[in-house]
Amino acid sequence: MHRTIEAFLGSRPFERGPWLAVAFGVGIACWAVLAGPWQWAGFLALCGAVAVGGLLIDSDGDLGHLRAALIGMSAMLAAGCAVIWTKSVVVGEPGIARPEVVMIEGRVLDRQVEGARDRVRLLIRAQVEGHGEPLQVRLNLPDENDQPGLVEGAQVRLRARLMPPAPPMLPGAYDFARAAWFQGLAATGNVVGPVTLVAPAQEGWSLRQWQQRLADHVRAQLSGSPGTIAAAFASGDRGAIAQDDEEAMRDAGLTHLLSISGLHVSAVIAGAYFLTIRLLALFPFIALRVRLPLLAAGVGAGVGLFYTLLTGAEVPTVRSVAGSLLVLAALALGRDPLSLRLLATAAVIVMLLWPEAVLGPSFQMSFASVIAIVAFSTSAPAKAFLSHSHEGSLARLGRHLAMLLMTGLVIEIALMPISLFHFHRAGIYGAAANVIAIPLTTVLTMPLIALALALDLFGLGAPAWWAVGKSLELLLWLAHLVAGQPGAVTMMPGMTGGTFALFVSGLLWLALWSGRVRLWGFAPIALGVAALMLTRTPDVLISGDGHHVGITGEGPDLLVLRAVREESYTRTALLENAGMTGDAVVLEDWKGARCNPDFCAISLVRGGRRFDLLMARGKDLVAIPVLAAACQRADIVVADRRLPAACKPRLLKADRALLRQTGGLAIDLVSGRVRSVAETQGEHGWFRRPPPWQPRARQAGPASTASGEPGPKPVQ
């Protein structure tokens, strides 16, 4: 076996390098998956043992490639784990223990205007009442309480309602607490009442102010939805984009166009590069004395860095510009810019600076799409398809258009597991939509925006802005058309981490190796597809506070215990984790439920067995004997408050005491599998598992009485 591996590695000297970057990312992921310090230390020790074992292999023998692979891969695995562990210790900020309303005084670090939601978002480093050390908090300020001097650097005093960073609402949902930990956020919340400006900011313009001025200027030149999207392209300000436009772009697979990322940065840098090299080539004195690719690469790098700073220098943008700068370096040196080794270098740089990004969809989707482009375009079938140089212009154009469509399809296939894992949804027609939208954006819209801004310096930008508006109207029309088609979005229940790992490993194997051996990547992908098809939708979803319950399998709609707003995160999270595209129907409005002011009861038949659920929704005290009798008739009881020990359902009592330990739950009644948020969190700093509840001494008092079905009623 070891001889076969040695021969395999020896025959692929140029394909082994990218796997070191993969190992670095896997080390980061292992830190996130493993439970705590003892497991992390054990992982590092295991990597060290493998590296030592590699060193024991004779370097002059016939297993040199295997030796190098063992040492290199184990070292990169350990490095990934160590880097994110170190960053977690250095920058991690524990969240506040509980919700509280407090006075805050501190300095504004960042200000973002969210016009579509009629609010301003402030990032403040402040001294918080009741806390010794200054905390970094993020607050939402209603537009009516905004002030002209409330900008970066201003000292403010205000009253705010703070919340600790929220863990995932349900297993598989977005983990804001983890993101806040690496951002240094201790709390989020809302400003209560007016803001007092203690000291104004120092004179001068910050990057955020320049960004805001640019966005306001663009929206002043171009009104409506096209203006909001043009402002996002020019400055990265997405706060004014209407909710229905954003949803249409998402469902059409075009939402990546709204965030300043690789597409926008690449378009700006490529435009600067080719414009510089073409203009300078017109002057023989310069062209004969200066190496134009090197000079054009410098200009492109400068423009890219300026655009990155102007649009807020967010992590995805910095990640994109880092990769683009490496491409410019390759062009300047005369090397192939479409190289997996170059991409692996960019990935390692990003992971060294932002190791936590590996765990999020932005990093995964951006690098997956570029890997798919490079691997597909450099594959033998793709090269053979485009090698018919003897054909006419129309035939060659048709081949390139077909290649563009196939590339889009490959990207969609590569991104689908990532989208299903993080968002529980994937677009069906995104490949076809992107074939039109990406050239429209990069070749027409963004150059027109640049031209319009340049002409505005002389007051002549109106015609260019009109053209920008028409191009963006076409983009929005395409987004709404595609999003409105039947089956435009595929919804799936939460994918497990193991299934996701099968997809990722198979896709990486397909992309990073060449020849027939890459076909082995279809094996883990097939296993992942089988596991995904066998994944059952949870029958019952319970939020971490017990306040919201979702029930599936009773038709196309999700049954919910309490009404949820149409645009609320709660509604979206429940539907996405249920893998449903229907509506959320309140349980008391469904004919199969029995509800009174205290409780709702419902009977579900799953796997040939009947399950009785009892869910609390009232706040009044009830008689313990009646409550005990109702619990005894139920298989599962759910409550957003602590229930007494007398409540003993047949299977599960998911009250506040239990949910404080487990977080949100997803229950499969057929298999009996209960997934919890806590089982995915381990001992990481952003997840606090409170001590078990201890009963207090009960005071003597009159007993309450109540009766009725399906559960206790308020005490009269």
Q: Tell me the per-residue pLDDT of 167-211, one tens digit each, with 9 for 90 and over.
A: 999 998 889 999 999 999 999 999 998 898 988 887 655 666 777
Render pLDDT for 4-61 as a digit per residue (tens, 0 to 9).
Answer: 777 777 777 778 889 999 999 999 999 999 999 999 999 999 999 999 988 888 766 6
- List the structure tokens of 13: 């000297």
In 377-496, which ranges are E strands?
A: 425-427, 489-491
Show the tokens assigned to 450. Answer: 């640049």
* Phi and psi angles of residue 151, each rounded to the nearest 5 degrees, phi first: -130, 180
Give per-residue pLDDT as tens, 442-495.
788 888 888 888 888 888 889 999 999 999 999 999 999 988 888 777 777 778
- What CA–CA distance (Å, rounded) separates 196 from 145? 10
- Give tens-digit pLDDT for 633-656: 999 999 999 999 999 999 999 999
| 528 has pLDDT over 90 | yes
Separation of alpha carbons 50 and 119, rounded Å: 54
Q: Does domain 100-204 have CATH number 1.10.150?
A: no
Sign of the CA dihedral running 315, 321, 324, 328: negative
Dist. CA 370–CA 350, nearest whole Å: 15
pLDDT digits (tens, 9 = 90+) for 201-239: 876 556 667 777 888 888 889 988 898 888 888 877 777
Tokens of 588: 């008391």
Burial of 383 (0-12, 13-18, 19+ CB in 10 A): exposed
Domain ranges of the chain: 2-91, 100-204, 497-534, 540-680
The pLDDT tens digits for 505-520 are: 999 999 998 888 889 9
SS3 163: strand
The phi, psi pair for 225, rounded to 5°, reads -60, -40
Q: Measured in whole angstroms, how far is the alpha carbon of residue 435 from the centre of its chain?
A: 24
pLDDT band at 709 (very low <50, low <70, confident <90, very high): very low
